[in-house]
Amino acid sequence: MSLLSPLTEIKSVGPELAKKFATLGIRTVSDAIHYYPRGYDDFSHVQEIRHVKPGMVTIKATVKQAKGRYVRRGMHVTEAVASDETGSVRLVWFNQPYRAASFKPHAEYYISGEFALRRQRLSIQNPSIELVSEFPVNTARIVPVYRETKGLKSQQIRKVLRSCIPDIRGLEETLPAWVVKQQSLMARAEAVEMMHFPVSPQALEKAKRRLGFEEVFQLTLAALLNKYELLKEYAVQIPFDEQLAKDFVGHLPFTLTDAQKKAVWQIYLDMQKPQPMNRLLEGDVGSGKTVVATMAAAMALQRDFQVAFMAPTEILARQHAETIHELLEPLGMAERLSLLVGGLKPAQKKAAHAKISSGHIGLIIGTHALIQEKVDMHRLGLVIVDEQHRFGVEQRKVLQKKAGHMPHVLNMTATPIPRSLALTLYGEMDISVIDTKPAGRKSIVTSIKSPNSRKQLYEALDKELEAGRQMFVVTPLISESDLFPAASAEEVYAALSRGAFKHRRIGLLHGKMKAGEKDMVMQKFVRHELDILVSTTVIEVGVNVPNATVMLIENAERFGLAQIHQLRGRVGRSNHQGYCYLMMGDSSEPSRRLRALEQTNDGFKLAELDLEIRGPGAIYGTMQHGQLDLRVAKLTDTKLIADARKAAQEFIDKGHNLLEYNQLYARVQEIRAVTNLN
């Protein structure tokens, strides 16, 4: 067998079983080898029966008196007795009728499972059992537990991986020998084997460190190579104009926070350089990123360079246009702004294109489609990207063709990213963080509600609406689903319209509506022609309705921590107090995540907690790049991350040739392709 052999080349895997493996993304021997466990059961301590106490246990014993019978409602129970020289214990299996005939007389077995009380009798329930050998797979060791699918259990996955051990032991080293030695890392083949069949807790930790280190090393190396490639490019220099900055700040109806001032200065310093800026402006909901971005845009406009400002949706593009127009008006720059979105009529678009081409329009605000538009932006100096998380080299190259040089790029995100995560994911970017909110901005009052309190809550909310405020109601689904029992937008809209809020103006918004319809509903809400907007998470990012003070989230337990934090950021955007109510689907105890939302409005603290709860895994979340997710490394392990980053920097500083390491080269190129093309 080779690593690329299909699973069916393994003796125990037929076409039907291969189909089940394929649902987990496992099609080849290599896929199986790199399918790491989600957890482990420690059955390595083999006890004599006389010492067994309630809990997870492993014994070495013979099995006799095995009998099976059917009990109520067709349930099958198999009972047996396991004995060693010190005593006997009862074994019980449910719905495994084959068990009774499977035992060899006088043979010794390892038996692992939970020793517990059931119907006033102690027994080991549903234990794993296998003949005593030098290499047990399901018992008498630290046993891996895998993410399973229908008809495919961890036991079957372990059996297949046992057959792959010769291939695992033949795995080539992927890291440079000096890195392995310098960091005292376990060899790659040994690490992969220890992940699936650890011989001790210490060996498992070393394996995790080795493979986690490699993941962060690869990510960081890709990011640094992207960074250095970009630094070779030429960008226009946009000099700092002190008087303009003073005029801009002097006309603001509020005072910039220290964090905003620091971010603006970092951006101004970048824009003066002949290399392209590649900066991420990270700030919690309502921290004032748009003002900072507008100050950068004004500096470019002052020097007669054009600015492209991209938003993820037309709704947000329109909102940004309104906000930025107000900010630029006192400087006499507002007439140089143009909105360029799909909703414009052909004649309007044509006129806008002509003004952009002539240079009369300097600031173009639209969606990501801006770079595809047949727009002549030959004076393009700066690109501002809102909530796209990353603006890749390939996209820059499209604009480079238009402008003749690489533009400076400022990426903005309202998703707080813990520092360790930001340094790993965005190693090619410089990062500015706005970690304080403007003075006077009130914290959102957040509280968890059980369905029993709905009537009283609705009465309180109606008083808020009576006072002239507005409310969002967010649901996890668009329409009713048998597979996913939760409130749907259509269902909630109908219930509110007929029930407690039938005297209120209610709108419905969801992702299946056409862009024009969504825009129309949203605009009605913005103009206060609606009191309540029932919506799915399409309103999650950036929507600004200062008069909306209430966010009611149905089935809050169905949402992620970061997602709820983003949603509640839609309210409390004026001098009125904002409220966020987390309505549970039932009366069960709220999770640690939901309790945390009640206790803090600090997005950075919540992001750290989210990371801690989730461990490794889907680090890209809203960023939709699953192939970059970490499977082993924990981003809370700051020492591992620092070591891996240092080694990646050293690899580049020493001028090592990546082409000498085939597998490392392939993985780094894969990561670079994804991060470049986002």
Q: Tell me: the pLDDT tens digits for 511-557?
A: 788 877 887 888 899 899 999 999 988 775 556 788 999 999 999 98
- Axis-axis angle for helices 638-653, 201-231 (nearest 10): 50
Q: Which residues have C-beta within 8 Å of that of residue 638, sequence separation ≥ 6?
A: 420
Query: Is the CATH number 1.10.760.10 carried by domain 445-600?
Result: no
Q: What is the pLDDT of residue 623?
A: 40
Overall CATH class of domain 242-272+288-413? alpha beta
Alpha-carbon distance 111 to 105, whole Å?
15
pLDDT band at 458 (very low <50, low <70, confident <90, very high): very high
Q: pLDDT (tens digit, 9 = 90+) per residue, 24-45?
A: 999 999 999 999 999 999 999 9
User: Per mean pLDDT, which range of 150-164, 193-207, 270-284, 381-395 is the poorest?
Assistant: 381-395
Q: Is the pLDDT of residue 430 over 90?
A: no
User: Per mean pLDDT, which range of 36-45, 340-349, 405-414, 612-621 is the poorest?
Assistant: 612-621
Q: Which residues have C-beta within 8 Å of that of residue 607, sequence separation ≥ 6?
A: 415, 416, 417, 418, 421, 562
Under 8 Å between Cβ of 324 and 296: no
* Common-topology check for domains 242-272+288-413 and 445-600: yes
Q: What is the pLDDT of residue 670?
A: 85
> What is the mean pLDDT of the segment spanning 465-491?
79
**Closest to 445 in 3D by CA, of 605, 578, 561, 564:** 578
**In the chain, where the domains are located:** 1-40+144-170, 45-140, 242-272+288-413, 445-600
Q: Each residue of 80-114: b (16+ CB within 10 Å) or e? A: bbbebeeeebbbbbeeeeebbeebeeeeebbbbbe
- Three-state DSSP at 403 gives helix
Percent of the chain with pLDDT over 90: 56
Amino acid occupying residue 678 = N
**Closest to 298 in 3D by CA, of 265, 273, 332:** 332
pLDDT band at 248 (very low <50, low <70, confident <90, very high): very high
E strands in 469-509: 470-474, 506-509
Q: What is the pLDDT of residue 544?
A: 77
Place of tokens 């190693």: 427
> What is the mean pLDDT of the segment spanning 236-254?
95
Under 8 Å between Cβ of 313 and 513: no
| pTM of model > 0.85 | no
pLDDT band at 252 (very low <50, low <70, confident <90, very high): very high
Q: What is the pLDDT of residue 345?
A: 82
Of residues 581 and 586, the one with the higher pLDDT is 581
Q: What is the pLDDT of residue 622?
A: 36
Q: What is the pLDDT of residue 353?
A: 84
Q: What is the pLDDT of residue 135?
A: 92
Domain at 45-140, CATH homologous superfamily: Nucleic acid-binding proteins (2.40.50.140)
Amino acid occupying residue 56 = M
Q: What is the pLDDT of residue 485?
A: 55
Q: pLDDT (tens digit, 9 = 90+) per residue, 257-296?
A: 999 999 999 999 999 999 999 898 988 877 889 999 999 9
Q: What is the pLDDT of residue 391?
A: 60
Q: What is the pLDDT of residue 459?
A: 94
Q: pLDDT (tens digit, 9 = 90+) per residue, 120-150?
A: 889 999 999 999 999 999 999 999 999 999 8
Q: Please calculate the CA angle 48-50-51 and round it to the nearest 5 degrees.
A: 70
Q: Is the pLDDT of residue 626 over 60?
A: no
What value does the mean pLDDT of the chain take? 87
